[in-house]
Structure 1
Amino acid sequence: MVVASTVQKHHLRGRDDDLAAATALLDRAADAEGGALILTGPPGIGRTALLRAVAAHARAAATTVLTVTGYQAELPFPFAALHRLLSAYPASDIRPAADPLTAHERTAGPAARRRSTRSDQPVRHDHPIRYGHRLRSDRLAAGLAVLATLRDLAATGPVAVLVDDAHALDRPSLDALAVAARRAGGERIALLFTLRDTPAGTAAADTLAGLPHRRLAPLDPRESRYLLADAVPELAGDVAGVLAARAGGNPRALTELASALTGEQRRGETPPPTTPLRTGDLSREYRAALRALPPATRRALILAATSATTTAAFPAAPGPASAPAADTPDGGGTPGTGTAGDACPTALLLAAGVHPDELAPAEHAELIHTDDTRVHFVAPLFAAVVYAEATLAERHAAHRRLATLTPALPAALHRAAVATGPDDTLAEALAAAGTPPGAAAGPAAAPGHAATALQRAAQLTTSPIRAAEWTLHAARLAWRAGEPYRARLLLRTVFATAVPASLHAERDLLLGEIELRTGAHADARQTLLTAATRLPPARALRALVLAGEALAAAGRHHQYTEIADRVAALHHQPPDQPPPPSRPTGPEPPAPHERPATGVGRAAGSPGHGPVEALLFEYVAGMAAGYAGEPARAGAPLARVIALAAACDEPAALVRAAWAGIVTGRDEDAHRPAGRAARLARGAADRATEPVAAERAATAALALGDLDLAATTAAEGRRLAVATGQDAVADTCCGLLAVIAGMLGDADGCRRWVRRCRARAGADIDSQARAMCVWAAALIDVAEGRHADAAGRLWAVMRTEVGRGHLGVQVPAIPTLVEASVRCGEPGAARPVLAAYDLWAASTANPTWLALSARCHGLLAASDDEADSHFREALRLHLAGDSAFPGARTELLYGEELRRHRRPAAAREHLRSALATFEQYGAAPWARRAAAELRAAGDHVDPPGPAGAEPGPELTAQQARIAHLVAGGATNREIAAALFVSPRTVEHHLRNIFVRLGVRSRTELARALT
């Protein structure tokens, strides 16, 4: 059994930013710059746990901590809360209530008041709470008395007043604390209040109006799973994923759902519950709120909950708020909108006979909220509680009523909900509504809803084979809907009875892909290689390509030749025939240089294969050559991959074409298919492919040198990956963001992304994301002058064994390693790796890669003339490749070399250019270094502007793109599709653009730009 308090023994999950905001207030109070902060949120969101963490931080910093919790039972008693807050301190420590400020103190500032309360002065003994009869009825006087008391306590050190559940404090106590909070500026006093953002908190919110507020957001799915792992270590990961979706990011809902699990449910052997135990605090609170509503309102909510929960038996993971409403035929769970099983169409309720007035009491109680088209429950769990609290007769009546008012798929689900036993006719209707396996068209509904229909059909049919087929297809659709945990739970139960081997193989193909994206690389490789032995060639090809990606993701591409051999064996087989027997997977094969030559790299255009299969054959041939250390041989097949992508509409194939462009240095050719893959995936509701498409687009943008676009796209990719449970992709996006921060010299940002990347328990320590974090840390070392540390880190990433590590990190990190090695006095060590970089750069003819190669040779040059020639060639190539930031780094290095060789006039030209670029990118450490070099070269450098100065009108690169698209008449949705970000991200940038340019509308923006 699990209880909510279990979690409090562990790390406070998902609250780093909130805790930082609260502890920053404590730190300011320690410097006599106190104040107040109101932490708000719904029941169970973790306000109390956060306040406990703040208290621990305060005590560790030698801050006096006063705490009080509001109790409904004491609401009628004036000053009851203040009495509990202050009664722990002796009366001799408390300043009198009467005349709380002396005449001198009324006119003196905070510093003088602190001097007047030195600990060596006598203190009067009246207690403002114990002797409440002396407290005047004036609320201001009461508050000033509290403030005076807190000042006395702060005479010897900072004071933190932590008020939990402020909405349950008696009004006089809250009034007094609010008065003190508004006057805490300039004092060594910090006051933090937690407040429920429900009607119960409205009066308290009015009392505390004007004080800074911070609303606690729901935990993201990843942090929710971590919290469950802390609370229930034995909980199966897939069960945790499903519960995280059901709880909607509410920590108490998570732990109460976990409390309801049986042993079989914890292990994933039986489905988890949809509602928590009735004894849980949150469940009791929801039930009490439901009982307080009028009967007509409860009946209306039962209809809404029946609609919401029926099509969302397993809620989808949160996603972009802009997803189209067309995804929700019955208005139940809305995959892609973040409302998992918590909404119902308003029109459906009206058609069922509900009058809007009947919903009003629930709206006033803030148990639901409505917009133009939908009725939303306050939380998915509340909808589940409403449904569970209804009687069996009420539930059946609601299902039957809704079945007459909804389209085919939800109507079939409602009929199935009242079925009492197997029903083949109903099962066929459900499967047809959700598109049964083998249909030529896509699913007739959103993938999540179609998966629910097929899952229920499998439960109703009397045919074990049909049940297995439908369950398998339901798992496939659940994965496509962004629900990997639900998909894997379905796959566990798909073969309880004997079924054809082909279904086992298809199950392994799907399971292997899910394992790859969620980070279980070793399991994915084994599962996919096994599946490939039992699938027809076209499907075996896909399994082998994924297995190869699992090897590469784990840094074991020395084994890729085995994959290439098996793919080559499939090349001339008819696509629909079983492959020849393959040898079983055994011990690791020898490294590529120890193996005989294979047929990898031969032409792939075999008759009978479509463009996607042809692309995959070429892709494996090209990657095999690249992993074998032969980039020149990889170029031709990978170029054909890019060409074949033009005829492909499959997002996964386009993602691989993007990688082919990155590997061959064709950066524009990499970015186009990645963006197209994302648009196609979004249009097809294929949420499984969106995150990896974003990650590829971010990598391509980074290769293009567009750091702003790369960071925006990587952040979007991480959000999508976290929402869909793709931990490996989320980690890679964190690694990209760490590298971008490292390039700019942003040490804090780099550490933050490295920490997030490394937070996942069980993550592969040899993953590409981990290697990227090492590279990022080395970039910070170089920026801050720790060259030996940087070289040490990067040598660990390079790994001298052939075919190990990550080429996607090893190759682009070589220029950083060369620079670090030269600066720490070990240039000879860098020459062998530079030779490998030269090989890759020459094979691509990419100007930026060649420029970096020339820069490295300039650093290693034996003479001034040789160095000068290499640096000038590097600058010419940077200009040809339009690589501004790497070019500025080259100019800085060149300027440093020129100054050291007593050519200050020539150095100043390059150092000024580098400084201007660094300032444009906001790369402060590099700007400081360039400015220092300029001063050393005899130039005058203007000091930075005063702190807090208003920003100038210059836009970032991404803001400029958005501004020009807006000026051209594009909508936010069109801009989001063009730049591969969410409409919400576009709105965020647009607000900043308006502020920066001083405009208030799109029309004014267009005028400003023209």
Structure 2
Amino acid sequence: MSGATRAAAAPRLYDRTTELAAVAELSARAAAGGGGVLLVAGGPGLGRTALLDRAVLDAPLRAHRVAAPSGNRVPWSGVRALLAALAPTPSAARAALRVARGPDGVAGALTALRAGEPLLLGVDDHHLWDAHSRAALAAAWRAGSGPWAWVVSLAGHHRPPEVPGARLLRLAPLGREGAAALLDEVCRSPLKPAVRARLVDEAAGHPGVLTAMAARLSAAQLAGETDLPATVADDEVLRQVYQGLLDSLPAECGRVLTLVAVAGEAGPGAGDDAGADDPAGGPARPPSSRSGARPVGADAVLAVARTARTSPEALDRLVTDGLLRGPREALRFEDPLLRRAVLGAVAPARRRDLRALFTPPRDAGVPCGPARTSAPRDPGPRGSALDRGAGHRADRLRPADEVRALPGVVRGRAELARGLAGMADGPVADAHQVLLLAASLLREDAPEEAADARFLAMEAAWSAGDADACATALAAGDGPGAATGPGVARGGGDGAERDFRDGMRAALAVRLHEAREPLARVVARDGVSDEPRLLLRAGAAALVLGDAASAVRVHSRALAAVRAEGRTALLPRVLEHLSYAELRAGRHERAAAHAREGLRAAHLTGQRNSAAHQHAVLALAASVAGDTRAVAEHAGRALVTARPHGLAQATTLAEWSLARAELGGGLAAHAAARLAPLVGAGPRSGHFALRMLAVPCFVEAACAAGRRSDARAAAEEFAVWADLGLDPQAPAQLARCRALLAGTEDSARWYGEAVRHHAGCGNDFERARTLLAYGKWLRRRRRPVEARAPLSDALVTFERASAGVWADQARAELRATGGAVGGTGPVGAAGELTPQQQRIAGLVADGATNREIADRLSLSPRTVDHHLRNVFARLGVRSRVELSGVLSRAARDGYGGVR
């Protein structure tokens, strides 16, 4: 059947066999009642829209292609256009839009318009659709309901939407045969073989460039009767292909792209047409085969960009989006034709001026860049270290005195960039020292940046677990000239930094009476800012004060600010801080959700240290859920980076999560042995800010393992710490520790006190652990009737927190008292599975393998395995046979929808 938006003529495609086969497979799946999502990514002119047109024309079912509306920033404009293409009347489209904006979403709207009808829906230029429409479509795709084949095109440098089971295809340039065949189709007259070969070489397989070149040549040129231009794919041709992409970039990103393109021109004396002729004097070579661009150092670009008030995040965004590739010392364009298009858009005079910023004078080895200075001549290598993209390796490329001749602010900014790189992916102790050096170099001329460097130095030391180094970084702000100047006043004033410095130093020295007031002022003042760096500072202050709720609020505000400003390089760090604050607040599932997002952002931006922190948070959250496999996986990945890079905080969290999983699984001796060094003193101890937080877990494990003297010593130290008031949970946990250690007469009193304290601190998981311990104690004292109430309460709380292994313990204890577990057991839980989990569980119970389930539901086997592990944990079963029995009982007991 034909849809209203089919293309009028069938576009012929070349070298797209894989893509067309994927579309045909998806169409057949939809026609059979299935469905799925196929994502097609590619750069400008590579044929995304042509592929969608071909898919619509070839589809054996009703098919539509819907492009991004011209007013793409109008909320819901994309969904409105999609529904208008499907609706028989405008009124029906308006009614469907109301459904789409409600709880039923786009899937409900499509069902209302085309109930049960298979459809192929082409969503063109998904990255240009408005945010509301993109979110609504993603929700519909993740739900996976309906016989709909979605073929979605998006720009290659944009991050594809996250859809479980979706297939992603990236369009590649055409091969020589495909490119030649396309030329023969689009040319108005026959081609001479030599001309065809020349055009294929210049276009490097790019369909859009091939088509634009063919359109600009005359019949005589195509036939070889008159000469071709020196460069057929000239600025005008490239502008036709790439102008839309360049116009869509933020202004700062466009400026940085221009700087990278200019800095990469071959040789300091390169002219505007550098590389156009063969060095041997022969005919011009195709641009795509020339090595005209050299790699560019990020530090050199950032040094020049700062003079134009361009944010460093613009460069990070270009790298994250994939427009630039390579290590920091050798950036290059992913698409060489895009580089030429960028250069072609720069006026020759402007291009020469920019090149001069990256090129030293011919008669001296004087460093050049955003600020020039006088220096003696030097016979060493020409060009500054920054120009060479070496940055932190300047001392190896030129004599040390020439490096010192650079202006302090230039050196300071280079060291600041180097320190940030070290914090992202390197030993954090080294980054701490580099950032201290940056702070000293920036102190006079850039006090606001110096303050940032000091805060980052403290953060690096904090990650390393070095309290003395934290104090050193804070002390670097003392003395005249610290944190002054107009920039600092705008950023919160010298008073804000002084409060943070004084409060943190007092807290590190355990003088809490001195720390509370200045740190509270930091939270109150910086916590309402719109500047992420100030919000991070306020969040850190809130955590030190033990105010986890304020820390979550402030870091959530920082996350919103970072997302609004598109600061992709800062996103992993903010998510890391937010997820840790949520752990402290007992919000484990939310912490895991933010850590997963932070992990993706860290991988995209190459920040392995942040990824290690996110893995550690995910491991600790998984230890609450009792998913031992996830705990081992995330903890192992965290430790791979954390140990060599000295990330004491991530190491402590990872080890703690392994111990808690062992304790939950009944391996108390293993858990106690793992935690003992973390909670003790000495070189093997855990992170100074986490050591006391892990003590209650150690006491529980040590008591169960018969190490009561070790548990008592740790509890005594914990009691001193709890009196400081740094953690609202500490009084309840201390009472639980005393109950575990007390004699028979006193334990009940201590358990009662622990429960009373828990009522005011809000961490349901810790409260449930106390109730479980109390119920166990009562049952072992042959008081089963009294034990049932705390055990039932613990069971319900564990189930609400998805703490599967802990719920199993509570359920077993409750059964041992003779109490009924009711609908909260596996049978009751079966009715609470998500629709996708119910489908997978039902197919498993029917005997299907993971591969068969994946094929039937258009998912990957890995996604099926993930859902199945969650089903096993939720139902408390350990095998497919047990799962089948649970579902059979659930169906018999009236929990519908699970088969």
TM range (shorter): 0.5 to 0.7
1:507-656 → structure 2 map (5 Å cutoff):
507-536=414-443, 538=447, 539-569=449-479, 573=482, 575=484, 610-611=491-492, 613-646=494-527, 648-656=529-537
User: Residues 803 and 438 of structure 1: is their aligned pair in 2 closer, same or farther, counting only changes over 3 Å?
Assistant: farther
Give the conservation status (yes or no) of the 8 Å contact 1:434–1:449: no
For the Cα contact (< 8 Å) 1:857–1:867, is it kept in 2?
yes
Q: 1:782 aligns with which of 659, 663, 676?
A: 663
Q: Distance in 2 between matches of 1:719 and 1:404?
A: 30
The corresponding residue for 2:383 is none
The answer for the alignment partner of 2:140 in structure 1 is: none
Partner of 2:578: 697
Shift of 1:819: 0.8
Matched letter for residue 306 of structure 2: P
Pairwise CA distance, 1:746: 1.8
SS across alignment from 1:575: coil
State TM-score, norm by structure 2.
0.55
Amino acid in the other structure paired with 1:575: T
Residues 562 and 568 of structure 2 are in contact (CA less than 8 Å); yes or no, is this contact kept in structure 1? Answer: yes
Contact conserved, 2:357 with 2:369, CA < 8 A, in 1? no
Which residue in 1 is equivalent to 2:568? 687
Deviation at 1:610, TM superposition (A): 5.0
Distance in 2, Cα, partners of 1:672 & 1:955: 32
Structure-2 residue corresponding to 1:60? none
Q: What displacement does 1:540 show?
A: 3.1
* Aligned 1:808-847 pairs, distance under 5 A: 808-844=689-725, 846-847=727-728
Gaps of 5+ in 2: 1-14, 55-125, 132-153, 163-167, 173-181, 188-202, 214-229, 275-299, 325-332, 334-341, 361-365, 373-385, 837-865, 875-899
Distance (Å, rounded) in 1 between the aligned partners of 2:412 and 2:463: 23
Match of 2:588 in 1: 707
Q: Which amino acid is the alignment partner of residue 550 of structure 1?
A: A
Partner deviation per Cα, 1:190-221 (whole Å, 9 max, x = no partner): xxxxx984236677889999899999999xxx
Q: Structure 1 residues 922, 333: CA separation in 2 closer, same or farther (over 3 Å shift)?
A: closer
Alignment of 1:985-1000 (within 5 A): none
**Conserved in 2, the CA contact under 8 Å of 1:875 and 1:887?**
yes
Matches within 5 A, 1:817-966: 817-844=698-725, 846-864=727-745, 866-942=746-822, 950-952=830-832
| Matches for 1:385-424 after TM superposition, within 5 Å | 392-399=231-238, 413=258
Output one character per residue of 1:666-704: Cα deviation in whole Å (capped at 9) or x when no partner: 111101110111111111221122111112221222222
1:53-111, Cα deviation, whole Å (9 max, x unpaired): xxxxxxxxxxxxxxxxxxxxxxxxxxxxxxxxxxxxxxxxxxxxxxxxxxxxxxxxxxx
Native 8 Å contact 2:776 2:813 kept in 1: yes
Find the residue that maps to 1:800 and give its secondary structure.
Answer: coil
**Quick one: distance in 2 between partners of 1:207 and 1:449?**
38
Give SS of 1:534's match: helix
AA in 1 matched with 2:476: R
Decide whether the 8 Å contact of 1:854 with 1:874 is kept in 2.
yes
Taking a change above 3 Å as real, the CA distance of residues 829 and 650 of structure 1, as seen in their structure-2 partners, is same
- One-letter amino acid of the structure 2 residue matched with residue 770 of structure 1: T
8 Å CA contact retained: 2:678, 2:684: no
Gaps of 5+ in 1: 1-167, 169-194, 219-245, 249-284, 294-320, 345-353, 360-379, 472-484, 578-605, 957-987, 997-1010
Query: Greater CA deviation, 415-424 or 664-673?
Result: 415-424
Alignment of 1:370-389 (within 5 A): none
Structure 1 distance, partners of 2:388, 2:38, is: 30
Distance 1:392 1:531 in 2: 47
- Over 3 Å counting, the alpha-carbon distance change for 1:942 and 1:419 in structure 2 is closer
Cα separation, 1, equivalents of 2:793 and 2:388: 54
Aligned residue number for residue 737 of structure 1: 618
Which of 439, 456, 469 matches 2:370? 469
1:735-794 CA-to-partner distances (Å, cap 9, x unmatched) read 011011112322122122123323449842553222211100100111122112111111
**1:820 Cα shift?**
1.0
8 Å contact kept, 2:500–2:518: yes
Query: TM-score, with normalisation over the residues of structure 1?
Result: 0.50
SS class of match (1:437): helix
Contact 1:437 1:470 in 2 (8 A): no
1:815 positional shift: 0.8
CA deviations 1:298-339 (Å, max 9, x no partner) are: xxxxxxxxxxxxxxxxxxxxxxx979889xxxx987566699
Structure 2: distance between partners of 1:930 and 1:413: 63
Q: Aligned partners of 2:645 and 2:302: how far apart in 1?
A: 41
Return the letter of the residue paired with 2:608: D
Where does residue 599 of structure 1 map in the other structure?
none
Match of 2:337 in 1: none
Encode CA deviations 1:16-62: one digit per residue, 9 max, x unaligned: xxxxxxxxxxxxxxxxxxxxxxxxxxxxxxxxxxxxxxxxxxxxxxx
- Per-residue CA deviations over 1:341-361 (Å, capped at 9, x if unaligned) read 9999xxxxxxxxx99x979xx
Partner SS for 1:544: helix
CA distance in 2, matches of 1:804, 1:625: 22
Contact 2:698 2:711 in 1 (8 A): yes
* Structure-2 residue corresponding to 1:669: 550
Q: Cα deviations across residues 961-986 of structure 1 (Å, max 9, x unaligned)? A: xxxxxxxxxxxxxxxxxxxxxxxxxx
Q: Deviations over 1:362-419 (max 9, x none)?
A: xxxxxxxxxxxxxxxxxx99869979x9994314442466799876886994996998
Q: 1:750 maps to which residue?
A: 631
> Which amino acid letter does the alignment assign opposite residue 681 of structure 1?
V
Contact 2:127 2:158 in 1 (8 A): no
Q: Which residue of 1 aligns with 2:413?
A: 506
Report the alpha carbon displacement of residue 936 of structure 1 after superposing the two structures with TM. 2.8
1:85 corresponding residue in structure 2: none
SS, match of residue 469 in structure 1: coil
The within-5 A match list for 1:140-159 is none
Contact conserved, 2:428 with 2:461, CA < 8 A, in 1? yes
Q: Structure 1 residue 903: deviation in Å?
A: 2.7
Is residue 685–residue 691 contact of structure 2 (8 Å, CA) maintained in 1?
A: no
For the residue of structure 2 that corresponds to 1:468, the secondary structure is: coil
Deviation at 1:660, TM superposition (A): 2.0
Partners of 1:510 and 1:941 in 2: how far apart?
58
Task: Give the distance between the partners of 2:755 and 2:503, measured in 1 at CA.
Answer: 31
The residue number in structure 2 matching 1:768 is 649
User: Partner amino acid for 2:233?
Assistant: E
How many aligned residue pairs are there?
592
| 607-616 vs 838-847, greater mean Cα deviation | 607-616
Distance 1:335 1:529 in 2: 36
What root-mean-square deviation, in Å, do the aligned CA atoms of Structure 1 and Structure 2 show? 5.7
- Are the counterparts in 1 of residues 303 and 410 from structure 2 also a CA contact under 8 Å? no
